Amino acid sequence: MSESKNMPPRTVPRFSATFDPFTISEIQRSAATGIYDIRGAGTKRKLPHFDDLLFLGASISRYPLEGYRERCDTDVVLGTRFAKKPIHLKTPVTIAGMSFGALSAQAKEALGRGASAVGTSTTTGDGGMTPEERGHSSILVYQYLPSRYGMNPDDLRRADAIEVVVGQGAKPGGGGMLLGQKISPRVAKMRDLPEGIDQRSACRHPDWTGPDDLEIKIEELREITNWEKPIYVKVGASRPYYDVSLAVKAGADVIVLDGMQGGTAATQEVFIEHVGLPILSAIRSAVQALQDLDMHRKVQLIVSGGIRGGADMAKALALGADAVAIGTAALIALGDQNPDLAAEYAKLGTVPGAYDDWQEGRDPAGITTQDPELAARLDPILGGRRIANYLSVMTMEAQAIARACGKSHLHNLEPEDMVSLTLEAAAMTRIPLAGTEWYPGKTGF
Amino acid sequence: MSEALFNHQTVDLRKSTIRDLNTVLQSEDVTGSWEVRHPDGRHSIAVGLTAPIDVTIEGQVGYYACGMNQRANLTIKGNAGPGVAENMMSGSVHVEGNASMAAGATGHGGLLVIDGDAGARCGISMKGIDIVVRGSVGHMSGFMAQSGALVVCGDAGEALGDSLYEAKIFVRGEVKSLGADCEEKTMTEEDLDILRNILEKSGITEYDATTFRRYGSGRRLYNFHVDNASAY
């Protein structure tokens, strides 16, 4: 103590906002390994999001519906434009595409069980359709991806809808990855790849480029499936107005728009954090494109990327979407990030809530793994129940908001039911800033 | 589809639609040999077939002719547009003219024979199909090809077999350049047997298997490593 008395006062350690601790650790890790960081999940940066919108609720000029007595319907029909057999979901929240390979068979089964219990759909992913997920999913959307791993016409015919994947929100313009730890014998066989390699999926489709080709490709898929299946086109949010317009032109029945908060099984950190748009900024442009083409509600719009609960779903619908899709939230509902697994996360150098090394295949929750022992930890029946519970809660939350706004169907929610809390949200959504009737770009204040 | 048309087993695409054609060719009880007249470059001709029938298409076809074929044997008496026999599972497709880009793309099985030349990306992401081109193939052919064999009796364009997996590529003529991780391999007796078998079932008797060279994956890019970054 006597020493410190003799020392002059010193500044406390101050971290740089530019070279913050994470940035410094990334530079150090890059220098040590010579490889960019690859991880799962979506962007972790703070972005304008649905939290920046609020519903107004009813007042003298709007009257609400009675919460436990008056109906607020939730169903949605997808694929009404061209498909002979559109699909009918009881709730406008679906499970986004996630592959067997990225996820364990148990996780895929649980997602199918949960979604089926509440009358909604699940989606395959890169790697093809497994009998388990077809068997446990009453409505299954089959992804048609650039890699065409496991693609065969029998599965196309077994599907209830086909989703042509052009891109995804976590990596618009990027192909898939599945690192060697997860290329198990079964995954390798399904994808016709050697075991243990770092699998790279193509970023472009092998036999078409551009919207004119896409139109012909969609026609081929319809011809092979007797024009029965709704054809979705999924794009990562980057140029939503033009991408939606071109997808409509190409003949899509349904468009899936995925923001950068959407998860991935494995992608470069730099890609996840620096490419794409937050979903909040993309929805209004997509809806505008549909309206300009007189296709709003004729070509259905599904949005995804950071949907966490019924409020997010209600806001997306109020902005003009027909349905939402969830991926990361569904995995959390299954047991990802479970605090009970803190000790095991610690062994992986992380904590519950921050685990994102899904590419390593060592998930203690048994979800993002192909390790038989880890995967066996996930009970697909219990997992299915958790998914069903979560989807039900989302639906009830959205209904509660819709009733408060006086809406007898979730699709009756509209932009005028909301206000923006930030200038950014107001600019992106053209929803007026709270307390005003103004948004950036609108004359007058 | 009228009964008369069904009995004649001939479909004239100036009188019938693509939907009519595919409906009858995809039907569960279809049998025998079929002739498609006046294809006139239309797209999606004879796609998604599942029965072991014979189909002859009398002329040029557009995109994705014979796509996703299962068990049928089809002959195109003309040129083919992009993606002919794409994702074929089994059966055979014979193009008597030239084929555009992405011929046999992602095919899982069966045999595609092209009498003329094939454009860019022939055999891209192939997964078990055998493709034989009597003429030459364009650039990036065999890109990310996973399994099966690509046999080129003529020359190959730039970046042959780029990012190749376990497909085997045989070329009789010149190769302009090899793609990332594709290298010439020693032709083994097993390779010669594979090649001879493919040539025989393709009806090619004028070329001896020993006059081809074989290319395969160097397997250096199978796992990420910083030392390989310049290969991409």
Cβ neighbours around B31 below 10 Å, total: 11
Kindly identify which residue of chain A lies nearest to residue B25, measuring between CA atoms: A224
Q: Nearest C-alpha of chain A: how many angstroms from B66?
A: 10
Domain assignment present for A122? yes
Domain assignment present for A362? no
pLDDT tens-place string over residues A227-254: 999 999 999 999 999 999 999 999 999 9
Say if CB B35 and CB B5 are below 8 A apart: no
Q: B171 forms bridges with which residues in the sheet?
A: B152, B213
Cβ neighbours around B5 below 10 Å, total: 16
Average model confidence (pLDDT) across chain A? 95
Segment (H or E) for B168: strand B168-171
pLDDT(B19) > 50 = yes
Half-sphere exposure of B41 (CA within 13 A, CB side): 2
| Rounded Cα–Cα distance for residues A258 and A261 (Å) | 8
- What is the ipTM score, two decimals? 0.95
Give the residue with greater pLDDT, A196 vs A391.
Answer: A391
Q: How confident is the model at residue B4 (pLDDT cuts 50, 70, 90)?
A: very low
3-state SS class at B80: strand
| Residue for token pair 């001879």 | B196
pLDDT (0 to 100) of residue A98: 95
Residue A443: alpha-carbon gap to chain centroid: 35
pLDDT tens-place string over residues B186-208: 999 999 999 999 999 999 999 99
Q: How confident is the model at residue B1 (pLDDT cuts 50, 70, 90)?
A: very low
pLDDT tens-place string over residues A63-117: 999 988 899 999 999 999 999 999 999 999 999 999 998 999 999 999 999 999 9
B129 Cβ under 8 Å from any chain A Cβ: no
pLDDT tens-place string over residues B131-145: 999 999 999 999 999
pLDDT tens-place string over residues A413-441: 999 999 999 999 999 999 999 999 999 99
Domain assignment present for B232? no
Please report, for residues A398, A421, B175, the alpha-carbon distance to residue A415 in angstroms, rounded to integers and kept in the order given.
15, 14, 60
pLDDT(B7) > 60 = no
> What angle separates helix A210-224 from helix A240-250, to the nearest 10 degrees?
40
Number of domains in chain A: 1
Q: Do B67 and A224 touch (CB under 8 A)?
A: yes
pLDDT (0 to 100) of residue B102: 98
- Residue B165: its chain A contacts at CB < 8 A? 193-194, 197
Residues with Cβ within 8 Å of A409's Cβ and at least 6 positions away in sequence, in order, are A72, A73, A74, A402
Kindly identify which residue of chain B lies nearest to residue A193, measuring between CA atoms: B146
Q: Nearest C-alpha of chain A: how many angstroms from B84?
A: 9
pLDDT(A148) > 80 = yes
Q: How confident is the model at residue A1 (pLDDT cuts 50, 70, 90)?
A: very low
Domain assignment present for A262? yes
pLDDT tens-place string over residues B153-198: 999 999 999 999 999 999 999 999 999 999 999 999 999 999 999 9
Residues 163-182 of B with CB under 8 A from A: 163, 165-166
Q: Give the CATH number of the domain where residue A216 resides.
A: 3.20.20.70
Q: B80 forms bridges with which residues in the sheet?
A: B61, B99
Number of domains in chain B: 1
Cα A269-A279-A322 angle, rounded to 5 deg? 135
pLDDT more than 70, % of chain A: 98
pLDDT(B2) > 60 = no
Say if CB A230 and CB A140 are below 8 A apart: no
Segment (H or E) for A248: helix A240-250
Q: How confident is the model at residue A45 (pLDDT cuts 50, 70, 90)?
A: very high
pLDDT (0 to 100) of residue B231: 66
Mean pLDDT check: name the lowest of A159-173, A174-188, B42-56: A174-188
| Rounded Cα–Cα distance for residues A326 and A394 (Å) | 11
Residue A255: alpha-carbon gap to chain centroid: 13
pLDDT more than 90, % of chain A: 86
- Smallest Cβ–Cβ distance between B226 and the set A34, A156, A200 belongs to A34
pLDDT(B3) > 80 = no
pLDDT(B71) > 90 = yes
Burial B96-112 (b: 16+ CB within 10 A, else e): bbbbbbbbbbbbbbbbb
pLDDT tens-place string over residues A342-381: 999 999 999 999 999 999 999 999 999 999 999 999 999 9
Mean pLDDT check: name the lowest of A246-260, B79-93, B216-230: B216-230
Residues with Cβ within 8 Å of A418's Cβ and at least 6 positions away in sequence, in order, are A53, A54, A55, A56, A315, A318, A429, A431
Domain assignment present for B197? yes
Q: How confident is the model at residue A3 (pLDDT cuts 50, 70, 90)?
A: low
Q: Do B68 and A200 touch (CB under 8 A)?
A: no
pLDDT(B90) > 50 = yes
- Smallest Cβ–Cβ distance between A192 and the set B47, B82, B127 belongs to B127
- Residue A196: its chain B contacts at CB < 8 A? 223
Say if CB B161 and CB B145 are below 8 A apart: yes
Q: Do B166 and A225 touch (CB under 8 A)?
A: no
* Residue span of the structural domain in which A419 resides: 38-332+376-429
Q: How confident is the model at residue A199 (pLDDT cuts 50, 70, 90)?
A: confident
pLDDT tens-place string over residues A283-306: 999 999 999 999 999 999 999 999
Domain assignment present for A356? no
| Rounded Cα–Cα distance for residues B215 and B204 (Å) | 20
Domain assignment present for A340? no
Alpha carbon distance, N-terminus to C-terminus of chain A: 61
Closest C-alpha among B187, B179, B138, B137 to residue B161: B179
pLDDT (0 to 100) of residue B215: 98
* Residue span of the structural domain in which B193 resides: 3-219
Domain assignment present for B51? yes
